[in-house]
Chains A and B, each alone.
Chain A
């Protein structure tokens, strides 16, 4: 059983460009969360998707948007990239609404904005 898979693993973009990151959740998981982790910091919550809807959102600007597909996979889109968007982007999947549910993380997508 594949766990959470993310693509691409590494990418370099130029300021002002747009990027799309992809995530396939663990089999059977229908809730996908995205996190941004700057170097030396803990991950910060971007947003969470459930049933193809954004269920909640952290303190990130509208340049950050997402989507969840019927097969539960998800995309994170970032428009008008800034140097400060350089970070590791982590996707996590779980069953819905549960403190009792283990959360599984992908290996992350390393984004460098130059």
Chain B
């Protein structure tokens, strides 16, 4: 079992839909990162959170430390949101990230 699990693996949505991507982890972490990866390969950091909730534009990320679970929400989805979304757990004691396998999101116009 991977230390960081994401679901769903693939997600197709219609433009305007509300989207939720889930991430569960089994290791002790200092922070959790949500990342976006486009087909070219480059990764952009969307959020880093260690508790509660963060919002940036149409993106919202939440984390429940007790349940070891985080969610990424996209409101009013748009085709330009199509990408792979990856959650990664940061283990402060070791200083490296453990990545989930990613969720491939496709938003249709």
Which residues of chain A have a CB within 8 Å of any CB of chain B? 31, 33, 35, 37, 40-45, 48, 55-56, 58, 88, 90, 92, 97-100, 102-108, 110
> B95 to A42, Cβ gap below 8 A?
no
> A33 to B30, Cβ gap below 8 A?
no
**In the complex, B96 has a CB within 8 A of chain A:** yes
* B19, chain A: closest CB distance, angstroms: 19
Give Cα A97–Cα B93 distance, bound, in whole angstroms. Answer: 9
Closest to B43 in A: A105
40-74 of chain B: CB within 8 A of chain A: 40-45, 48, 50
> A56 to B99, Cβ gap below 8 A?
no
Which residues of chain B have a CB within 8 Å of any CB of chain A? 4, 29-31, 33, 35, 40-45, 48, 50, 86, 88, 90, 92, 94-102
Across chains A and B, the number of contacting residue pairs, with CB separation under 8 Å, is 68
> B41 to A42, Cβ gap below 8 A?
no
Closest to B47 in A: A102
Give Cα A104–Cα B48 distance, bound, in whole angstroms. Answer: 12
> B99 to A106, Cβ gap below 8 A?
no
